[in-house]
Amino acid sequence: MPDARWIWTPLDASDADAIHALILEIEEADDSANRTTRDEVDSYFLNSHVWRAQGAWAGQELLAFGLLRTPVANGGELPLTMSGGVAPSWRAHGLGRDLMERQLITARSLARELGMETASVQMYIDNSQFDLLDMADRLGFERESQYVQMRRSLAIPVGEPQISPYTRILKLTGEWVNDTRRAHNRVLADNLTYTKLGNEAWQARLRMMEEDWCLVAIDFFGDRPRLAGYLLSSRFASNTKEGTTNDAVYDEGYVEEVVVLPQWRGRHIASALLTAAMGRFRDAGLSYIGLDIAGEGSQRSSLITVFEHFDFEHVAETYIVTTTV
């Protein structure tokens, strides 16, 4: 039986002000390491994704919102991403569970609309959100993986790694798109954080990146050039500057993927890609480079220690939980 204390309605781009205000209230109460900008809220409703949004209202006050999104090109290989939140003053009133249950019902409906017999649903939960983690466990979500978000100031000098004179770092162009997709599927196939992608899904992913900051490492030794590795980057608002929460300052280049194929590991390819990316970020007037380090279960990735030695700092830690509908 519906709870009479709140009323659920669909949400759309016209509700962005109310959604953003609610998110800021939640993030302030939770002392979140990252703060959501208004531009990010506007991006929830872009036509690059199929989305469903809903909100719980008491009069004109938005008490909770939920969002489900997936790229338009999703043919079943990508998960549905679930997000949302409840106003701090309305926690422990049953609204959070009501929201999660409604989100799962919406996910089943959206999956059917997209022609999927079953679909994976994923949610990102900060490791400090104990109550949400517990609720997700009780609703059938499993902790699939986790990642640590790290950040480095671009003002800190960085040395040039020594790589083979036959290897060049170049901008990712059309001739290397299929090779990078195959490398993604080959190298990341065993990493539960990622999904194998078809041509359309990979193209959709690339459209979400900053074109000039996506790089490839090409080995020109031999009779034909070969892909040794690649890096994908997007633009991000670090929110490290006071007063920028509402007026987004996109001052961080975010490394979404950095992959080195097995044959070229141990040759400083990843360092060369990251160094080249930092140069492009700096030339664009950015202040930071950020990236995520994936881990399994409670295991601390050795890569975290490596990046700490390169002056990266720990920002936040997040679980990825999943279920099937």
Q: Which residues of 267-287 are buried (b: 16+ CB within 10 A; e: fewer)?
A: bbbbbbbbbbbbebbeeeebb
161 and 98 together in one domain: no
194 and 282 together in one domain: yes
- Structural domain count of the chain: 2
| Cβ atoms within 10 Å, residue 92 | 9
Instruction: Confirm whether 230 is domain-assigned.
Output: yes
Cα separation, 317 vs 71, whole angstroms: 25
CATH number of the domain bearing residue 87:
3.40.630.30
What are the residue ranges of helices labelled H in the chain?
16-30, 38-43, 95-113, 130-138, 177-187, 199-207, 269-283, 302-309
110 and 165 together in one domain: no
- pLDDT confidence tier of residue 243, bands split at 50, 70 and 90: very low
What residue numbers bound the domain in which 196 lies? 156-286
56 and 176 together in one domain: no
180 and 261 together in one domain: yes
Lowest mean pLDDT among 4-13, 109-118, 290-299: 290-299
CB burial class (10 A; 0-12, 13-18, 19+) of residue 201? Answer: buried
Question: Smallest Cα–Cα separation from 125: which of 117, 133, 114?
Answer: 133
161 and 114 together in one domain: no
108 and 174 together in one domain: no
Instruction: Confirm whether 184 is domain-assigned.
Output: yes
**Secondary structure in 3-state letters for 231-251:** EEEEEECCCCCCCCCCCCCCC
188 and 92 together in one domain: no
pLDDT for position 16 = 96
282 and 160 together in one domain: yes
- pLDDT confidence tier of residue 278, bands split at 50, 70 and 90: very high
What are the residue ranges of helices labelled H in 139-230?
177-187, 199-207
Instruction: Confirm whether 59 is domain-assigned.
Output: yes
Please compute the mean of the pLDDT values over residues 278-307 and round it to a whole number.
Answer: 81
Instruction: Confirm whether 321 is domain-assigned.
Output: no
pLDDT for position 272 = 95
pLDDT for position 4 = 74
169 and 282 together in one domain: yes
